Amino acid sequence: MAKPKVAFFDFTCCEGCQLTVLSLGDKLLDLFESVEVVNFREASSYKGQDYDIAFVEGSIASSKDIERIKEIRKRAKVLVALGACAHTAGVNAIRNFHNQQEIRKMVYGDKAWVFDSILAQPIDAIVRVDYYIPECPIDKEEFLRFVSQLLNNMKPFLPDYPVCVECKMKGNVCNYHKPNPIICLGPVTRGGCGAICPSAGNACEGCRGLIPDANLEAMEWLLNEYGVSAEDKFRFYRMYNGLMGMKK
């Protein structure tokens, strides 16, 4: 079997997900053994336009992006949204909730007219996405497992259980039970990260997106129970999930 050709593309993002792939170490060599990488800006200047699998990082944030992602979709047999920006529009979507004129001025100053920025959108707002690898940035192990399973003609495994499952497996003291409780989105956020943030004493901010049947009414009850203000709730959800419920 010929090696599948793989390309990486970045849209509006920090490119941290591609850097995560680059930092796979020995496993990166195994990856290059299994697939032919034809386009990977962080690793090589070669730009092949013939590929089977496109890993797309970043949000759609300009009208040029829209044309470009459509072109990638046409060429790719399989399109994978890589990381939170591609999956949920991630932190880029925070700006959607502000006055666009003011935001553009704040970012670009008097050169704002040069940039055709639009509201930030996830990749699947524009084109069909076959698979998602969530998280900000992506998890190395999950990426490798994803590639192995895709090469093995499988529908890659993406847990539908929340972060709490792995947090409990790790034996963490629940964020809500600490002497100074930490407001945490673990109960409604998709697991698979190994509860990396709660394990390090931080809140889960929801970077892997919501689980398919997240009980947001229960979350509302919980946040009220801990006296979280309406403003803080919005801020919290908007960190990564501002566009939840706005997807097709």
Q: Which residues make up the interface to another protein (CB under 8 A)?
A: 27, 30-31, 33-34, 144-145, 147-149, 151-155, 157, 160-162, 164-165, 168-169, 171-174, 176-179, 186-188, 211-213, 215, 217-219, 221-222
Q: Quick one: the chain helix, strand, coil %, rounded to 5? A: 45, 15, 40
| Minimum separation from the CB atom of position 177 to another protein (A) | 7
| Minimum separation from the CB atom of position 243 to another protein (A) | 22
Residues 6+ apart with CB under 8 A from 143: 20, 21, 24, 133
Task: For residue 100, give the 3-state DSSP assignment.
Answer: helix
Q: Which residue, among 68, 76, 58, 59, has the nearest Cα to 18 in the 3D structure?
A: 58
Q: Nearer Cβ to another protein, position 119 or 222?
A: 222
Q: Nearer Cβ to another protein, position 81 or 185?
A: 185
At position 222, the amino acid (one-letter code) is L
40: which DSSP letter? Answer: -
Report how far residue 7's alpha carbon sits from residue 37's, in angstroms, rounded to the nearest whole number.
6
| Minimum separation from the CB atom of position 156 to another protein (A) | 9
The token pair that represents 65 in the structure block: 């992006």
Q: Nearer Cβ to another protein, position 58 or 186?
A: 186
| Minimum separation from the CB atom of position 161 to another protein (A) | 5
Q: Nearer Cβ to another protein, position 94 or 158?
A: 158
